[in-house]
C-alpha cells in the first residue's frame, strides 16, 4: 500500500453528531455489522490505536497533559467505565432548550440515546479502555488531557442508512445559536482546542461565524468533522476540517470524497470500523459495537494536537497547525494537497518526531483570505472577522470577580493579538447570561449531580493557554472576488490540487507505508526544545 496520494500522505476519518447533524455513518451494534463496509475490513475496532502507535507516543510524554480540550456535542454519560478516571468536567445544563417544557436539558445523563454519541466521542480522547464485565473498551489518544464538555443539541437515534433522527426538538438559549454559545463559553473557560463532531451552518456574519472568529483570534484551535456524504456543511475558515478513512486508508463511507467540493483545510484520520460502547438497537450500554464516520476522526485529530502541545507547550496554535499539515503520514515530505485526502493522514507520531512546532511560521495556514472561493462560498468567518477577534456582543459580560474553575486553578487568558483580554483572576459570568453554567465534576472525583435545577449559577474559571500570542502576523488582508488560478498560497501552501515540490502529481503515488509506528518511536520521553514537559500548562 502506498504512503502518498497525489503528493500527500494519506490519513483517517471519523463520525459526527446530529441536532445540527451527526457525522457518524454506519453504526454496528453488538459487534454485529450492519452494512458490509466494516466487515470487509476484517480488523479489530481498536486497529487505529496500534497503527498510530498511541501507546508509544503517550509513553514518551505526548499524552495531552496540561492541555484543555473542549468537546461540543450531544449529551454525555460520565458513569461508563471507560470514562471512570478521566479529567472530565461537564457544563450544566445544556445549551439546548427542550421545546416540550421550555427548560434547558441536562448535559450529563445516563439515558442511552441522549448521550451515546457524545460519550463515545469523548472516549476517543480520554477513554481508559475499560468496559463492562471485564471487557475492553475504547481507549483515548490523549489520556491525560483535560476535557470540558458542552451539550449544544438534543439527542438523536442512528438510522440504518447512517443518518440520524432527532428525538428531542430543542431551541437555542436566549435565541443565540447553541453551537455558537458553546464555542464562546469554551473560549472563555480557557479551552486550548475545540472539537466539534457535527455539521451545522456557519454563514458569514452569523452567530456561529462570529463565535469561531473569536475563538481563532484568541488562539484556540477549532477541529470539526465533515459530512460523510461529501457535502460541505460546516466550513470553518482557519479551522481544521476532518474526514474519515478506514483501515484500508480509503474514505470510510463511499460518498465522503473531498473532490466533490472545494475545501482546502482538510486532514483525514481513522474513522472507519471504530470500537464504540453500547448497542444502538437495544439502548444497552454494556455491549460493544462498531461505527464509522468523521465523528470519531475529529477527536483523534484534536487529541493529536493536544499530545504534541503537551510536550511543546511554548508553541502557538498557529505553529501546531503548521506542524499538523506538514507532518502527515509516516514519511517526511514537502507540503502538498490532494483533492480527496487533503493534506494527508494526520499523524501524531510524525508530528512528535518532527520536533518543536516553534520552528514553523506563527501564521495560521488554514485561513482563506478571499471574499469567495471558486464555488462562490464566502469564507466563514472572514479573515477580517478573525483579525478583529471581537467577543460577540450577544455573549454575557465577563465578570471582574475572581473565582476558581472546577480544578481549583485561577488564571486568565491573553487575547490573540496580545492586547490583553481577560486578566488573571477574572472569570466569565456566562452562567447568568445564558441561564446555564453549573459545572459537574466527573472522572476520579465521581459524578456530582447528573440532574441540575435550571437557573443555578456558578462562576467558572478562565484557564491559561500556553503560547497564546496569535494570530500575530497571521491574518492576510481579505481580497475581493475569488482567488485566481496560480495565485500564491499562504505560507508555502500549494494551489489546490497541485503537488508540492518533489511530490507526485495528483492521482499518482509514491512508495512507502502511510504509517508505521516503528519508523519514529524512540526510547525515553520526548525532549522539547523549550518549556516544561510535565504538569499543567502555565
Which residues belong to the active site? 73, 117, 295
Preceding amide of 454 cis, omega within 30: no
| Residues found in the chain | 538
The CB-side HSE value for 342 (13 A sphere, CA atoms) comes to 31
Distance in angstroms (rounded) separating the CA atoms of residues 195 and 345: 18
Q: What is the largest CA-CA distance in the chain?
A: 61
Any idea what the Cα angle at residue 19 is, between residues 298 and 67, rounded to 5°?
35
Task: Answer yes or no: are the C-beta atoms of 462 and 188 closer than 8 Å.
Answer: yes
DSSP letter for each residue of 478-518: PBSSPPPTTPPPGGGPPPTT-PPTTSPPTT---SS-S--GG
| Grid cell digits, residue 118 | 457524545
Distance in angstroms (rounded) separating the CA atoms of residues 415 and 421: 5
- For 371, list phi and psi in degrees, rounded to 5: -75, -15
Distance in angstroms (rounded) separating the CA atoms of residues 202 and 208: 5
- For 449, list phi and psi in degrees, rounded to 5: 65, 95
Distance in angstroms (rounded) separating the CA atoms of residues 121 and 299: 7
Task: Answer yes or no: are the C-beta atoms of 204 and 380 closer than 8 Å.
Answer: yes
Owner of C-alpha cell 493536544: 306
Distance in angstroms (rounded) separating the CA atoms of residues 416 and 220: 9
Amino acid at each position: 500500500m502506498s504512503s502518498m496520494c497525489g503528493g500527500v500522505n494519506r490519513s483517517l476519518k471519523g463520525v459526527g453528531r446530529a441536532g445540527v447533524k451527526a457525522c457518524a455513518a454506519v453504526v454496528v451494534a453488538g459487534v454485529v455489522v450492519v452494512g458490509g463496509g466494516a466487515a470487509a475490513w476484517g480488523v479489530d475496532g481498536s486497529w487505529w490505536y496500534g497503527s498510530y502507535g498511541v501507546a508509544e507516543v503517550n509513553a514518551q510524554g505526548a499524552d495531552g497533559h496540561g492541555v484543555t480540550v473542549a468537546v461540543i456535542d450531544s449529551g454525555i454519560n460520565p458513569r461508563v467505565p471507560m470514562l471512570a478516571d478521566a479529567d472530565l468536567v461537564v457544563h450544566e445544563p445544556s445549551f439546548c432548550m427542550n421545546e416540550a417544557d421550555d427548560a434547558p436539558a441536562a448535559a450529563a445523563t445516563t439515558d442511552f440515546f441522549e448521550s451515546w454519541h457524545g460519550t463515545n466521542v469523548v472516549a476517543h480522547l480520554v477513554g481508559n479502555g475499560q468496559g463492562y464485565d471485564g471487557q475492553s473498551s475504547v481507549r483515548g489518544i490523549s489520556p491525560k488531557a483535560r476535557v470540558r464538555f458542552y451539550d449544544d443539541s438534543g439527542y438523536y437515534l442512528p438510522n440504518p442508512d447512517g443518518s440520524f433522527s432527532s428525538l428531542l426538538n430543542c431551541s437555542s438559549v436566549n435565541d443565540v445559536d447553541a453551537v455558537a454559545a458553546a464555542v464562546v463559553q469554551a473560549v472563555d473557560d480557557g479551552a486550548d482546542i475545540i472539537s466539534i463532531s457535527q455539521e451545522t451552518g456557519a454563514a458569514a456574519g452569523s452567530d456561529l461565524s462570529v463565535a469561531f472568529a473569536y475563538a481563532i483570534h484568541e488562539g484556540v484551535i477549532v477541529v470539526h468533522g465533515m459530512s460523510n456524504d461529501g457535502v460541505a456543511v460546516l466550513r470553518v475558515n482557519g479551522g481544521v476540517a476532518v474526514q474519515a478513512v478506514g483501515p484500508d486508508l480509503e474514505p470510510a463511507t463511499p460518498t465522503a470524497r473531498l473532490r466533490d467540493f472545494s475545501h482546502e483545510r482538510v486532514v483525514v484520520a481513522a474513522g472507519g470500523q471504530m470500537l464504540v460502547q453500547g448497542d444502538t438497537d437495544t439502548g444497552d450500554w454494556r455491549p460493544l459495537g462498531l461505527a464509522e464516520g468523521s465523528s470519531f476522526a475529529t477527536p483523534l485529530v484534536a487529541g493529536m494536537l493536544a499530545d504534541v502541545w503537551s510536550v511543546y507547550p511554548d508553541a502557538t496554535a498557529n505553529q501546531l497547525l503548521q506542524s499538523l499539515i506538514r507532518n502527515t503520514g509516516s514519511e517526511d515530505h514537502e507540503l502538498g494537497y490532494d483533492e480527496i485526502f487533503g493534506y494527508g493522514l494526520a499523524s501524531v507520531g510524525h508530528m512528535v518526531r518532527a520536533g518543536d512546532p516553534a520552528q514553523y511560521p506563527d501564521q495560521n495556514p488554514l485561513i482563506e483570505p478571499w471574499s469567495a472561493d471558486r464555488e462562490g462560498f464566502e469564507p466563514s468567518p472572514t479573515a477580517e472577522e478573525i483579525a478583529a477577534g471581537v467577543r460577540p456582543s450577544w455573549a454575557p459580560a465577563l465578570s471582574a470577580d475572581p473565582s476558581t474553575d472546577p480544578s481549583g486553578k485561577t488564571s486568565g487568558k491573553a487575547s490573540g493579538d496580545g492586547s490583553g483580554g481577560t486578566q488573571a483572576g477574572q472569570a466569565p459570568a456566562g452562567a447568568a447570561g445564558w441561564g446555564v453554567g453549573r459545572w459537574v465534576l466527573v472522572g476520579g472525583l465521581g459524578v456530582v449531580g447528573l440532574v441540575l435545577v435550571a437557573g443555578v449559577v456558578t462562576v467558572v474559571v478562565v484557564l491559561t493557554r500556553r503560547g497564546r500570542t496569535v494570530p500575530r502576523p497571521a491574518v492576510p488582508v481579505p481580497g475581493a472576488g475569488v482567488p485566481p488560478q496560480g495565485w500564491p498560497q499562504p505560507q508555502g501552501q500549494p494551489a489546490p490540487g497541485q503537488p508540492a515540490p518533489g511530490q507526485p502529481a495528483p492521482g499518482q503515488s509514491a512508495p512507502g507505508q502511510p504509517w508505521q509506528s516503528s519508523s519514529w518511536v524512540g526510547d525515553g520521553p520526548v525532549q522539547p526544545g523549550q518549556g516544561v514537559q510535565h504538569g499543567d500548562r502555565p
